[in-house]
Every structure is written in C-alpha cells, then in structure tokens.
Structure 1
Amino acid sequence: KNDALLAPVEQVRTVINPEKICDLYEVYVPSAAVFRGVDSVDNVDFFGKKKVLIEAVAGSGKSLLMRHLCMKERDREQYIPLFIEFRNLDSKSGLDEAILAHLDELGIEADPEIFAVLMKSNRLVLLLDGFDEIKSSERSRMARELESLARAYPDTTVVVSSRPNSGLGGSVYFHTFPILPLSEETKKEFIIKLTENKQDREMILDVIFCSDILPEVTATPLMLTLFVITFKARQFKPDTVAEFYSLIFPTMLYRHDRMKVGFKRDRESGLSDFIIQKLFETFCFLTQKIDVLRSDRYKLLGVIEEAVKFEGITSVVPESLLSDYLKITGLLVSDGFESYSFSHKSIQEFFSASFVSRLPEDSKKVYYESLIGNDEKFAKWRNTLFFLSTIDQTSYLRFYLLPTKKRLLGLTEGEVADVGYADMVAVIGQDTRVKATEEGEFLGIYWDDRWLLLISLNLVGLLRQILKLF
C-alpha cells in the first residue's frame, strides 16, 4: 500500500473551478454513478464479473467513478489497483507495455514474465479509463488487445469505461453496465454541493424541474454543473437546448469577473469576446480533426495560428490568445508541465459543432457528406453530430440524417429499395459474434458497435431482431 504513489488519482480538476486541484471526494457524489437497482458502487466486486465495461454518455462521471474504485481497492488492500487513462497511452505502444510502465511507476519492477505471474495471481485490478478517447484509427487494435488480455487472464478483474458504441460493446468477454441518467434526488444533492446560498439553490431547482427541456438536458453531472454556472451568472432560463449551449462560452468567459464586483480580468489578446469565441470554435474543430484532445504548448500554438489564418483575423498573438483560454475561460486547462487539455472532451465537441453550424451551406454539405457511411469518421465526430442535430438542425437533416437513412434502406435515385450484402454488414457489424455451445445450442449474439445505432436505433433494432429470429 503506497498512498503517495496513488495520490494523483485522488486529485482532480473540475469545470466549475479548473484552476484548482481538489480532492476527489470534495466533488464525487456516489449516487451520480448509479446502475440499475443500485444506489452506489464501492468496489469492483459489485459487478460480479471479471471483465466489465462501464458505459455512459459524455459528462456522466465515468472518470470520477473509476478513480473512486481505485481508491476503494487501495483501502481494501485485497488487490493492487492500476488506474490507467487511455488518452495518456502512446499510440505506438501496446496495452501490456503501458501496464508494465505503470507498475514501474508504483515501484514494482516487472518484466513480461513477472507481469504474467502477477496477472495470473488475481492480485491486480486494471481500471482502464476512457476507451472512447483513443484515436478512432487505433480503437480496433486496442479492442483486440483487451480481448487478448481477457482470454489470457480470465480471473483478473479488468474494468473499462467508455461512451456507448465506441467499439468494445460487441465483445463476448466484457459485460456492459450502463450508468443511468441523474435522478431528481441526485440532482438536488449535486446542486447542494455546487451552491452554498440556499435561495440560489431553491431557485435553480425550481427552474430545472418546471422546465420542459432542462430535466433532460441536465441528466449528466457535467451538463448540470454547466447549467448551475450559467444560471448563477445570468439568472436566465433558456427555452431551447440550443439557447442553453449558446450561453456556455460567454458565461465561462466572465465567470471569474462576476465573482468580484467591479473587476474585469484583462484579455491578454486584446480581442473582443466575439472574436475570442469565434477563434475558440475554429480551434476546437481543428484539434478534433487531427485527434488532439491533449497536447504540448507548441502544437496548440500551431493550431491557433491555423485558426487565425482560417478566420482571416490579423494582429493576433497566439501566445496571448492561448493564455486567455487558459486563465479566463477554464475550458482549456494546464495538464502538467507545458501540457494542456480541454476541461472535458464534450467541450471540444460542442464548440466544433458551433464552428460547423456557421459555415456556408456548400461547406456544411461537404462536411456532412464526408461522414455518411464512414465508420472511422463517424466515431470521431458522433458527439459533434449530436450537438449539430440541435444547433444546426436544418442542415443536419438535409445533408446528413436523410441521406444516411436512405443509404440504410438502400434507396436508389428512383426511391427503390436495393439492400445488398454491404448494407446488411452495416447493420450487423463485421465484429458481431454468435455464442453457442459445442453441441450447437444458440446462447446469444454479441452485436458490434455500429454508427447506425445512433442514427436510427429503432430500425437497426428491428432488423437485428429479425436476424436473431432467423
């Protein structure tokens, strides 16, 4: 047991105060990570399975839960917990190498042979966070490595967290446990944690539960936190989801200023708020395009230069603009020496969507059409598409959703259905497996994660049910 070595796992930054490193349990709400019929999870034995896939949408608190499990296993002293973030893995190295490196950091000298002994001893618990944050081009390889690990060490507990439909859900080895949306009671508990003033607390609760849109919008800890920040700053009740999203950047830009009467933090860039936001949207799109969620200062400054050039804005000093994003908005945070990352992946995805939504129609058409039927691109942009379905609804429907559904149905120019083998593979998935006994008894189907699930869930579900019956 070495508390000092695991201390970084217990230290987190939050959207509400990204400049401060705080203790995990200052912000962790156990009831926020609820699985069907269970109030909270305190150790890996809860799952009753050795290979676990925790699935939830962006901002559901998966990472906090994984850190919590690591701390609980440390305290139990039954296992050696290894907490590894997929986003920190070198894309060129394998999972085994990453685990060996982590063991070395914990002071456990292990070569491949010792590693195999440790894995077979049932003394390790692997907590692998953020499978969806692996570059889309690398996910298939990493999924195969995870399955190889599962086959080689059936008695070792491995817990992976990911967004749904990210490429591991079709595994016959990993059992999926979806996190449920926040309940009304948990939202109240969260707001109490986020709001000291009782009057503000009651007003926020009243606004949320009397709204037609906010109960659904605030179904995750991240979105609930962003709403609390926005409402406390503006005392404004949004009527649409798009209206709420549009307030996030200006609110974060001024959130520190509003805490001190008469104080306005200087903008090092000297740019207007409108231009700062516009460049941030372009910056988000460009970083997402090249699969950069976390990077060094030099690379990010290069992307800012590209964003400035794209927008045709002169007299911008990239270093000053990066400083504004870090010190004022908190949407981009320091993540170590000369290393920076978005405060949350969905921040990058939303502002990428904002960038796309203001493009000319012909450019939007090119963007949307490039994603149709392309699994790898869809994996990268799917959450951005989710935001676009709200803030750019007309173009999203015209250039993406309708053509995608026509493709799914095999509709030709004459509106005649022509479904071929490739169309069926799009529904079934190349990595779908059938589980059966040696005697041929059918036990079930493990469906591959497909991009179509997020576009036409009901239709794909119906087709899969027909195939299953067949």
Structure 2
Amino acid sequence: MIEGYLVEKSLDLLLSETWRLLKKYNLTMPTNKNDLEEAINYHLRDVKNWSSEVSIKDQQQSKLTKDVYINLDLYIYPKRIRISQDERIDIIPFKNIFENANNNIILLGQPGAGKTTSMKHLCHLLLYDEKFHPNIKFPIVIRLREFNTLSSKKYFTNENSGPIFERLFEVFGFKIFQNKKSTQEISNISLRIVKEKIVIDTLNKLGILIILDGYDEIIYKNMKSIFIDEIRLLCEQLENSYFVLTSRSGDFHYSIDRSVVYEIAPLHETQMYNFALKWLGNKSKAENLIKEIQNSPFADTAIRPLNLAHLCAIYERIGKIPDKPKTVYKKIINLLLEEWDEQRSVKRNSSYANFETDRKFEFLSNLSFMLTTSLNRSVFSSADLIKVYKKIHKDFGLEADEMKQVVNELETHTGLFIQAGFEFYEFSHKSLQEYLTAEYIVKLPTLLSNSTMLSRLPNELAIAITISSNPSMYFTELIFGRFCNIKFHDDFIKIFVNRLILEKPDFNMNRDVVIATLTLYSIYLGMQINDPDKSMQLSFFIFDPLTKEFEKFLEMIFRTNTKEIIFELYDVIDSLKTSENRIINILELKKNVSASTFPVRLYSRDIFMN
C-alpha cells in the first residue's frame, strides 16, 4: 500500500538516521526497510477493513462507509464556551477540516454525532483519493478504548515510552535490543527517549495522519492524564505529520497548543434527507421517511446521525417507522443510556457507575420533572441545576458537592443533557425531556394536583396518558379529577389535544372516556365564548378552531367505544350555531344518572354524535 519514490527515499533516510541514533546508546535494531514496509502495510490493511463499513444493531447488514456517509458541518469552536444562547457559531464543512494545515485537530461531538464514522470517512479519503491531502501519505488509526484491556498494561510499564508512542513504535515494526557487546545496561529513561525520538523522526519523515479515536472511551483517569501528556508532546514535535483526536464533548476540557478544536454540528434538513437517501438508496422511500419523521413528535431526535441511522434501519426492515412515538422514545433513550456502548464494548466509570440502566433512567426522569415544573423551560443555568440537584441527590446516593461532575457525566455518558454554553445547560432533545418528565409523572402514586404545575405540562401529560398502563382510565381521571377544576390558558388544550393525536394512545373500551372527551371539548369551548350568566339564550358567534383536531381525537376514542354511550346518558336540549354555521348541541345529563359521576351539561358538535 505504501509506495512511491519519495516514500522509498524517506524510509532509507529514516533507517540510516535511526541506526546512527541507536549506536550512540549501544543499541541495535534488526528492522530493515522491508520489515518497515511490511509492518505499515499490515496496519493499513487493518485501517482499510475498519474504515470500510459502518454497522449498528438494527441493521440487516453492514453498510459501506462510502455509500452512507454525508458531509457533516463543524462548529469552529465548542458550544459550551458560548457566553449566551444568542451567540451564533460559524460552521465549516467537514471536508474543509484541514484548511488550517499547521494545526492538529481535536474533534468533539455528542454521543452518536458521527465522530468515529467521520474518521472512517477520513481514512477512506486518504487511502483512495490522492488529491484530498497531498502532504499526508497515509493514516494510522489508534482506537483508544483498546488500552482498557488487561493485555494493554504492557504499554504503561517503566521501560515503555507511553501508550501512544509505544503503539506507533509497534505499527512501524521497530524492534531494538541492547548491544551484546555493551557492558552498561541502558536506563528506562534513555530507552523511552530513544523510542520517542524514533517515532517522531518517522512521523516527520513520512507525513502521516494519526487518528486517535475515542478519548472519552478511556476508563481510568490516570491513563487519561498520560495520554494528554503524550498528545502535548506530539503537538510540540510534529512538523510534517498531524493528528486528529476525537472525544465526546463533555469529556475533553483541555487547552492544547498547536491544535484547533471543532465540534460536530447537528444535522439540518437537507443533510437528514441526504442521509436517508444514501441509506435507503431510493428517493421515494427517503422522502417518505423524512416526512414521517417531520410529522412525528420526535423529529428533533433525528438531528443526531446515530438516531437517524436507527430510524433508517428500522424503516428499511419494515417499511415504516414505529406507529407509536413512545416506542421511539424508549429506543433512543435506551440507545443513549446503555445500548450504544454495549454495541461497541465500552464500559464507562462514573459516580453513578453502580446504577443499573433503570436507575439512571429514574434519575434523568426526576431531574427532567424538577427542571420542567420549576422553571418551565429547556435551558438552565448552573444555579438552576444546583437548586434542583440539592433536592434529589440524596434519593440517589449522590454527594451534595458533585453536581458539576454528575452533570458532566450525564453529558459524556448519554448526551441527553449537555452544556450548551458558559454556565448554562440544556436537554439535547426537547421531546426526550418531555418523555422523561412524563415517565416521572405517570409513576407518581397520585395524579398531580398543583394547578400551576399542571398548566405547564400539556405535552408531558399527553405522553403520560399514552405510556400509562391504562390510557382510558388515566385520561378520564385527569379530565374529571383535575381539568374540570382548573382554568387553563388558551393554548393549553390546543397543545394537549394535538400532542395526544401525535402520540396515539391505545384507548380501551371504557364509557367514561367518551364523556371525558366531550368534557374536554366543553372546557375548551367555554374558553371561546362569553357566557357570564350561563343562560340558555346565548347571543354570540362561536369560533371553534379545533374542530378537526377533536374529530381526529374522537376517532381514536370510537375505535373501541360506541357513540351510543352519549345518548344513554345525555339528552340534547338545545343547539347553537358557530361562525361557520355549524351546529353545536347542548347536552344535559339524564335525570336517572348520578350527577356526581358526570358533568350536568356538555357541548358536542353534531359530527361528534352522528
């Protein structure tokens, strides 16, 4: 794989200088040019195989990297250093990552943002496109998680120069020994210096890109500090070679001279379509998939390549995305909490390392609920987090002063919660914040009773109904037990009903759910009319903008229930006309039905009843 006159001359010169260096230290090296070429070619075959395919659990089979990769955008600095939410960060396309040729690169990104796949794409370009970067002859890939194994301990012994340098020494096929005629044994320090110099000289002679993939996947802190020291040394010594280090954003907080930091930006709409088109290989299917995603409540999760890849793989298998959004929420959260690391055989340590996946989920649900209900927004300051963390940390056996560490680990380990700027944080996907909050709500022993809190949660309550063990009963209890006693703002019911339609709860047979739905409609209609004395002689034009939404919602109810329930319990006693000249019936509870069970008076469109 490595060939060409310049490479041949570089190898000759390199070996000549290396032998002179070894002679000074009474060392010998049996490695010749053929050995060097063979060792490098062996590594490049491994790089070629590693970079050629991408694979995830939901796939029918692996995909070729060149067939599915789309060009990502990069922020020119990480989001976490923004001073305010309004600060806009310039972006560059990934293909221009080497425009500043004098710098090494640190590439950050959230879990599933496409860091490793981008490195595979980069290797493919360097191996097969001579014009991409003429000064780089070939890539060397070091997957940092491989140093977590027991067999990697050899890289951290006193006689070795450090894991990165030692691994590069191996890749080049160098072997050095004490000269048999020497009477003085070389010290470990001298041996390390020799190895480091050989590696640096080799890199500068050959013009190589070193890819250090997955700094965040290194388990042990003391190992991480060793790697950082080596990276700093590479930055100081490299002249004709460069490195790219990848890491999850929350796990890299260092300033490294002669390097530039980029962060992978979320996918925009065109990139999402191109991703689906490449994955599915069919324009019609890609358009249909993206349309389904955009019409779903979890559309915001598809801005992350890993999530979109799983949706594409599912669509490829069954021809559609899951009917129920709750299936997708669970899939993505499980993916981010545990499954993705399991697929890549990564085990992470953290302050809550003893938490099972369910316990991590409970902590995130609790955190989501507390932040949502107390602040009613998706962006939070450090002070907000400290306040909420103090309320819940004891329940999970976490230390009071470890808030920043825990939040950092949430970002590093899951990507569900991220630092979006200096001293402010946010959930990476609003829909997942809503789902986590709903999970907390639905597991409470009783329904929420705080009216202010309830009025802030139209989306979350709709999801809670959907994920409850009995959506009909939960919905009925919520309407009769809470909604009838609360004065909501104008948009609440609009948001609530529309989200229920999107979430598609499985309502079962239950006569109460029919009346509860008409009760909800009556509450909503009451907000649209001016009826101070509740008289039957109403003189106004009723504006009813949610007619079609309630029609769709009632269709869901009537799949398992009959409209006869309405006539069994209520009589039509009067009617009104809307501004569109449509009929609204006024219903009154029959005398033989207990008024303590159902509302005495309801409104119902003709179309709801016929």
Question: Given the two structures, how large is their TM-score scaled by the length of structure 1?
Answer: 0.53
CA distance in 1, matches of 2:247, 2:313: 26
Name the SS of the counterpart of 2:306 in structure 1. helix
CA distance in 1, matches of 2:259, 2:440: 34
Q: What is the correspondence of 1:355-370 to structure 2 with a 5 Å cutoff?
A: 355-358=359-362, 365-367=394-396, 369-370=398-399
1:298 aligns to what? none
Which structure 2 residue ranges, 5 or more long, are not aligned?
3-40, 76-89, 177-194, 367-390, 418-426, 428-432, 442-610
The code of the aligned residue for 1:67 comes to K
Check if 1:101 corresponds to 2:164.
no
Name the SS of the counterpart of 1:98 in structure 2. helix
Shift of 1:87: 0.9
| Maintained 8 Å contact 1:143/1:167 | no
Name the SS of the counterpart of 2:292 in structure 1. helix
- 1:219 is matched with which residue: 303, 310, 321? 303
Change (3 A) 1:72 1:196: closer
- 1:171 is matched with which residue: 248, 256, 259? 256
Shift of 1:162: 1.3
Give CA deviations for 1:279-321 in whole Å, capped at 9, x if unaligned: x98xx49xx9xxxx5xxxxxxxxxxxxxxxxxxxxxxxxxxxx
Give CA deviations for 1:381-401 in whole Å, capped at 9, x if unaligned: 43456548635448999xxxx
Name the SS of the counterpart of 1:45 in structure 2. coil
Q: What is the correspondence of 1:368-383 to structure 2 with a 5 Å cutoff?
A: 369-370=398-399, 372-373=401-402, 379-383=408-412
Give CA deviations for 1:71-111 in whole Å, capped at 9, x if unaligned: 33334363342111111125743584434434534546584
CA distance in 1, matches of 2:254, 2:327: 34
Check if 1:341 corresponds to 2:345.
yes
| Maintained 8 Å contact 2:47/2:140 | no
- 1:69 is matched with which residue: 104, 119, 122? 122
CA distance in 2, matches of 1:49, 1:386: 31
CA distance in 2, matches of 1:128, 1:10: 14
The code of the aligned residue for 1:101 comes to R
1:413 aligns to what? none
Indicate the structure (1 or 2) with the bigger Cα radius of gyration. Answer: 2
Name the SS of the counterpart of 1:6 in structure 2. helix
Shift of 1:53: 0.9
The code of the aligned residue for 1:147 comes to R
Change (3 A) 1:394 1:208: closer
CA distance in 2, matches of 1:144, 1:244: 42
CA distance in 1, matches of 2:205, 2:238: 9
2:329 aligns to what? 245
2:7 aligns to what? none
Moved more, 76-85 or 176-185: 76-85
CA distance in 2, matches of 1:180, 1:249: 20
- 1:51 is matched with which residue: 96, 100, 104? 104
- 1:79 is matched with which residue: 137, 155, 161? 137
Shift of 1:219: 0.9
1:145 aligns to what? 230
Identity of aligned residues (%): 16
2:217 aligns to what? 133
CA distance in 1, matches of 2:197, 2:412: 41
CA distance in 1, matches of 2:103, 2:118: 17
Change (3 A) 1:37 1:74: same
Name the SS of the counterpart of 1:55 in structure 2. strand
CA distance in 2, matches of 1:243, 1:194: 22
The code of the aligned residue for 1:51 comes to N
- 1:41 is matched with which residue: 79, 95, 101? 95
Which structure 1 residue ranges, 5 or more long, are not aligned?
253-279, 294-331, 334-339, 398-470
Change (3 A) 1:194 1:84: same
2:72 aligns to what? 32
- 2:289 is matched with which residue: 204, 208, 221? 204
Change (3 A) 1:28 1:106: farther
Shift of 1:69: 2.0
Change (3 A) 1:112 1:106: closer
Change (3 A) 1:17 1:373: closer
1:195 aligns to what? 280
Q: What is the correspondence of 1:304-323 to structure 2 with a 5 Å cutoff?
A: none
Shift of 1:147: 1.6
| Maintained 8 Å contact 1:15/1:343 | no
2:146 aligns to what? 88
CA distance in 1, matches of 2:256, 2:346: 30
| Maintained 8 Å contact 1:84/1:128 | yes
The code of the aligned residue for 2:293 comes to I
- Which 4+ residue blocks in structure 1 deviate beyond 6 angstroms? 342-345, 359-364, 394-397
1:410 aligns to what? none
CA distance in 2, matches of 1:344, 1:376: 14
Name the SS of the counterpart of 1:68 in structure 2. helix
CA distance in 2, matches of 1:201, 1:145: 45
Question: Given the two structures, how large is their TM-score scaled by the length of structure 2?
Answer: 0.42
Shift of 1:187: 0.7
CA distance in 1, matches of 2:98, 2:321: 44
| Aligned CA-pair RMSD | 4.4
Change (3 A) 1:141 1:167: farther
Q: How many residues align?
A: 308
